[in-house]
Amino acid sequence: MLKFAVMTTSSSLFNLICQCFRDDTIECCRFLDDVALSRAIYREDYHAILVDVATGIDATRAVFARRACYGDRRAPLIVIGAFADRDSIERAFEVGADDVVLSPIDRGELEVRTYQALRRFQSPTPVQAEDWAELGPYRLDRRTGTVLIDEREIRLTVREFAIAWLLFSRAGEYVSRRQIAGAIWSSTEDIVGRTLEQHIYKLRKKLGLNGASGVQLRTMYAHGYRVELCDGKTESEAIIAGLPEIQPAAQTADAIAAITQAVDIDRKEAASKCIAPTARPCMTLDVHAKDSEAARNAQPWGQYAAMWHGGTAHLVHPVASFAAHGEELPGSEASPALTSFSVPAALLRGNARRR
């Protein structure tokens, strides 16, 4: 049982193709777009792929990009339809077509060309497109899925190599995320967005596409990814190159020693002249009891605290009692400091209430 995949939006063209292969051993499956066709090719084996030229012939289309990325092409691709000129026919072959059938379509011609393409693919050495891509020291072999960097072999996974081939085969051109998603995963950018970023990161790391080897992988928002030749300098080296020239370590050490010696000389001269440090000006605050009620109440308590710490606390009550009334202590020779001590009346009234 042979299965043919047909991509066309024209029902009449699909019916015509089905009539060309009336054999019961042939099944024709119709697909409306290249993403759906790429998914089907990934899941199932089709013996031939027929594409309507009206759906668009472009290397960035998923069905063509996938065939370019993977070297294990197992079915011939035949483009059918009306071409504007000879250049359009050549472009179809360039993007991966194995044969072309022009409109108006002759049923016999389409049948013969399809079977001839099947025979070529079933031969031991099928005719294939160029299997090598080179850029700088990089050389990609699509048959083995390997990358050579200065003759050093780098092994990649199947999808990593497919992405690398898609980028290196179009070196200098931006490949959009949508194109990569369609060609590698047969899906949309929204579905494989995070997975695509991880594969790009691993590919950049494995192949060293940071510019050090003369090739860099550039990312541009809304454009995609591009591999290109560069001057071999990484971004950090370019930044360092733009900085002012730094003096050698020996010259830097001599400059530091000269500065240190000058500072020591200045210190010795200052010490010999006995230059005293300039004192910061201070302002003396003189508060008198007559200035405010707070000052008048605060001064006696200062004297009271001095008496307490001086060991004369036993004289506080007698002195306070008589001094509060303006009298002297009877039968004693109290010092002027004690006789002049006074306690605010408010505190005495407060003490009397607690008693």
d(CA 306, CA 313): 9
Report yes or no: 226 and 218 within 8 Å, Cβ to Cβ: yes
**Token pair 């035949």 in the structure block, residue:** 78
d(CA 145, CA 154): 9
pLDDT value for 28: 92
pLDDT value for 9: 93
pLDDT value for 64: 82
Sheet of 48-52: strand order equals 26-31, 2-7, 48-52, 77-81, 99-102
d(CA 142, CA 130): 9
Q: What is the DSSP letter of 25?
A: T
Q: Which domains does the chain have, with CATH numbers?
A: 2-122 (3.40.50.2300), 132-240 (1.10.10.10), 293-354 (no CATH)
Low-confidence ranges of the chain (pLDDT < 70): 70-73, 123-129, 232-355
Spell 82-121 as b/e; 16+ CB within 10 A means b. Answer: ebeeeeebebbeebbbbbbbeeebeeeebbebbeebbeeb
Among left, alpha and beta (phi > 0; psi -120 to 50; other), residue 48 is beta
Neighbours of 147 (CB within 10 A): 23
pLDDT value for 273: 56
Q: Residue 139: in which H helix or E strand, if any?
A: strand 138-141
pLDDT value for 25: 82
pLDDT value for 128: 52
Strands 215-220 and 224-229, by their bridges, are antiparallel
pLDDT value for 189: 78
pLDDT value for 299: 53
